Structure 1
Amino acid sequence: MYCVQEVSPQIFWVGGSDRRLERFENMFPLPNGISYNSYLILDKKTALLDTADSSISSLYLENVEHVLNGRTLDYLVINHMEPDHCANIQDIVFRYPKVKIVGNSKTFQFIEQLFNFDKKNDYYEVKEQDEICLGEHTLKFYFAPMVHWPEVMFTYETKKKILFSADAFGTFGALNGNIFSDEIDFKPVYLSEARRYYTNIVGKYGPQVQNILKKLSDTDINMICSLHGPIWRKNLNYILDKYNKWSNYEPEKQGVILVYASMYGHTENAVSIIANKLSERGVKDMRIYDVSKTHPSYIIADAWKYSNIVFGSPTYNMGLYYGMEFLIREMARLNFQKRKVSLIGNGTWANRAVKIMEELLEGMKNMEIVGTPLEIKSSMKKEQEGEFDKLAESICNSMK
């Protein structure tokens, strides 16, 4: 049975949600599932914008067939070739053999890598700002390479001023009947998952996101239709401002995230003491995470949100505790930058945690070490409390 909604007259959402999938890309937890959005335009010519993941193929193909209602499909526009959006290309081509596949040279390269069918004669290659007229609606194409794959492009529908934005402005989380952001309580339900999606999937490519934001800065946009999550038709500046901050690596607010690794509780205790001292000095809205328990995608998302980070870790086999090392290396790989960082190291017979964390942070851009790093020998002693007070004071001063 089909499940479609009208986005605008003659434009339909034909996607679906997967609430069973445990991990996105087999890496990132999906406690609330995920949506796969696709859009179909009915005009003198018909155009389908992207397909969907194989997990919803049956529903998706029924949706397309229902909206077409016996009409043929003229164009299949591929904004993004990642398999969670392109998995049904082959089924669409077989069902509608006269369809023209719209994309760029990279799009067609990836099609030939992923599929075995031969539709070269039906490729419709577009260049930057080329247009396709469907009748009343015209599609205009803006290339957005590395947001977050090299073939990515955005499609702009000029009549209703709708931007079909590939993965940009998307979020983890299934849709629950309502497909528009103004129909849901977006901030408590989706914002943290939108941030986690951006930081872990797109975050490495901040400069490329800035490029496409600048390219579209003079374009009148009434609606943003992403491939994941709700559609934006009101208060677009809210999500655009978030993307501008996230892609500039600017914190959204002053605050502290405290991240620790701890084998027997001593490093955890040291981090808890710092958090308590920060609270006594008026710091609000802190987050504490155990790297061995919390998936790094959640920690990275909050690191993007807040201005200050405290890393606390023991030495392990003359190196850094592996969970902490993985987290910091992953943050570096994602181009994380522009934060104030404080360090706590622990060691019983060789304290190297602080030194290794400093070396890892040196490879990241615009990272400021706040305060004198604390080094604990096995467990905190009363005579070290003054050092904790000084570090807490330094962190507070850095936030003013």
Structure 2
Amino acid sequence: MNTQKITQDISWVGVDDHQTELFEGLWPLDNGISYNAYVINDEKVAVIDAVKDFECETYLEKIKSIIGDKPVDYLVVNHMEPDHSSGISELRAAYPGVTIVANQKALPMLKNFYGIEEGIQIVADGDTLELGAHCLSFHMTPMVHWPESMVTYDQKDKVLFSMDVFGSFKATDGVIFDDENIVESFVDEIYRYFACIIGKVRLPAAKALKKLGGLEIKTICPSHGLVWRENPGYILDLYTRMANAETENGVVIAYGSMYGNTKHSAELLAEYLKDDGVEIVKLYDVAQTDLSYILADIWRYKGLLLGAPAYYGQLFPKMAGVLYKLAGNKLLNHALGIFTDYSWSGGAEKPFAAFAAEAGGVHVGQTVSVQGWADAEDEAALKELAQSVANVLKLERA
């Protein structure tokens, strides 16, 4: 039975998921995902969060292996999203005397999702719960990323149970600690998780991170991904930079192409950028690469070139899907360039222009519209567009 001691009284009782293909029905889980839950074995026993219901048997066995015949006194529900909460009913069936600790905004969800209306202790921002040697405090983090979201802090061991904040995709397979892993192997999945799940609520996330900065934190225990016991400052700094829309030097070129013409323009742009000294250039075909991977690199890198052909007088549909998600995330601190392709009447320019006006990034250079295959004049325009984006990156480095 793989349980892990985090401190003398606090243990990990999470599970790993390699069955679910799409998180939220949208985002591929090529490397799986972990659902982290924790037990505080004190005079009173508190379980922090449930897990997805298909792994409840393992979760309950782990809890029992730690507490033996003791009852579970409290289940703290930091977040009601079903990847965490769908195991609540099974936990309550195993421990019928358990009190669910949640905030006011979780109550209608408990009722609607699981028919639970009794045995609930409501907590507000700053409230505490005594377990014996341990005292838990609760801190509301609304809209990070649901309205009922909160985090829990153990005052004795300085452990932050951070809910989805500081989380990532990628299963840990029971090797849960940052010092037991190559942290860099999680960075791409941290960015992908943030861009897809937290990005739209970047501002509430930044506010929550500032609020949590007032706590003395020795260990960060999120609901997904690694437990940060050796270097919690690493993930705190990375999440803060992402929430503040800080970017690295590099360019993402995301394009759609029906017959290879727009792809050719995209490849020319990549070549011109590298010739101009841009070391990191990520080239993505939006019809071939899942949106989540594109979003992650767009969030990470400052430069963004978007290109697609007209499609019956409108924008190529796969690119329209990219713009929909990007419009929600915004493009603060980005340098944006646009290129299009058409055969007879065009039509992609207008939706691109509307996006550029609303997205929040800096639109650099003139939109390049190519008719069919790029000729020498088009190549010169594409080169100028690449240089405009590269110049912004150079200013950033200066």
TM-score where L is the length of structure 2: 0.97
Within 5 Å, give how 1:234-383 maps onto structure 2: 234-251=230-247, 253-365=248-360, 367-383=361-377
In structure 2, the residue matched to 1:138 is: 135
SS at match of 2:6: strand
Structure 1 letter corresponding to 2:373: S
Residue 209 of structure 2 corresponds to residue 213 of structure 1: yes
Cα distance in 2 for partners of 1:85, 1:384 equals: 52
- How far is the alpha carbon of 1:390 from its aligned partner? 1.8
SS at match of 1:399: helix
Alpha-carbon contact 1:18-1:55 (below 8 Å) kept: no
Alpha-carbon contact 1:310-1:344 (below 8 Å) kept: yes
Alpha-carbon contact 1:72-1:96 (below 8 Å) kept: yes
Unmatched segments (≥5 aa) in structure 2? none
In structure 1, the residue matched to 2:384 is: 390
2:194 to 198, 203, 213: 198
The CA deviation string for residues 88-127 of structure 1, in whole angstroms up to 9 with x for no partner, is 1111112212111111111222100101244x2x211111
Alpha-carbon contact 1:130-1:141 (below 8 Å) kept: yes
In structure 1, the residue matched to 2:228 is: 232
The CA deviation string for residues 18-57 of structure 1, in whole angstroms up to 9 with x for no partner, is 1122111121101111101100001111100000001211
Cα distance in 1 for partners of 2:199, 2:388 equals: 29
SS at match of 1:325: helix
Structure 1 letter corresponding to 2:143: M
Give every structure 1 segment of 4 or more consecutive aligned residues whose post-TM-superposition deviation is greater than 4 Å: none
Structure 1 letter corresponding to 2:179: D
Alpha-carbon contact 1:170-1:194 (below 8 Å) kept: yes
Cα distance in 2 for partners of 1:388, 1:336 equals: 22
Alpha-carbon contact 2:34-2:173 (below 8 Å) kept: no
- Comparing 175-184 with 134-143, which one deviates more in the overlay? 175-184
Cα distance in 1 for partners of 2:193, 2:120 equals: 32
Structure 1 letter corresponding to 2:319: M
Cα distance in 2 for partners of 1:341, 1:327 equals: 14
Cα distance in 1 for partners of 2:194, 2:294 equals: 13
The CA deviation string for residues 289-332 of structure 1, in whole angstroms up to 9 with x for no partner, is 00100111110110000001011110001000000011011111
Alpha-carbon contact 1:345-1:352 (below 8 Å) kept: no
In structure 2, the residue matched to 1:159 is: 156
SS at match of 2:55: helix
The percent identity for this pair of structures is: 36
Alpha-carbon contact 2:368-2:378 (below 8 Å) kept: no
Structure 1 letter corresponding to 2:124: K
Structure 1 letter corresponding to 2:382: F
Q: Give RMSD over aligned pairs.
A: 1.2
- How far is the alpha carbon of 1:370 from its aligned partner? 1.2
In structure 2, the residue matched to 1:179 is: 176
Unmatched segments (≥5 aa) in structure 1? none
Alpha-carbon contact 1:3-1:59 (below 8 Å) kept: no
Alpha-carbon contact 1:291-1:324 (below 8 Å) kept: yes
Cα distance in 1 for partners of 2:308, 2:337 equals: 12
Structure 2 letter corresponding to 1:326: G
The CA deviation string for residues 148-182 of structure 1, in whole angstroms up to 9 with x for no partner, is 01111100000110000011111111113311011
- Comparing 356-365 with 9-18, which one deviates more in the overlay? 356-365
- Comparing 60-69 with 302-311, which one deviates more in the overlay? 60-69
Q: Across the two proteins, how many residue pairs are aligned to each other?
A: 394
Alpha-carbon contact 2:273-2:281 (below 8 Å) kept: no
Cα distance in 1 for partners of 2:379, 2:5 equals: 62
Alpha-carbon contact 1:342-1:371 (below 8 Å) kept: yes
SS at match of 1:8: coil
In structure 1, the residue matched to 2:31 is: 32
- How far is the alpha carbon of 1:279 from its aligned partner? 1.0
Cα distance in 2 for partners of 1:193, 1:282 equals: 27
- How far is the alpha carbon of 1:278 from its aligned partner? 1.2
Structure 1 letter corresponding to 2:210: K
- Comparing 2-11 with 282-291, which one deviates more in the overlay? 2-11
Structure 1 letter corresponding to 2:206: Q
Alpha-carbon contact 2:313-2:347 (below 8 Å) kept: yes
TM-score where L is the length of structure 1: 0.96
Cα distance in 2 for partners of 1:221, 1:171 equals: 19
The CA deviation string for residues 239-270 of structure 1, in whole angstroms up to 9 with x for no partner, is 1111111111221x111100110000010001
In structure 2, the residue matched to 1:124 is: 121
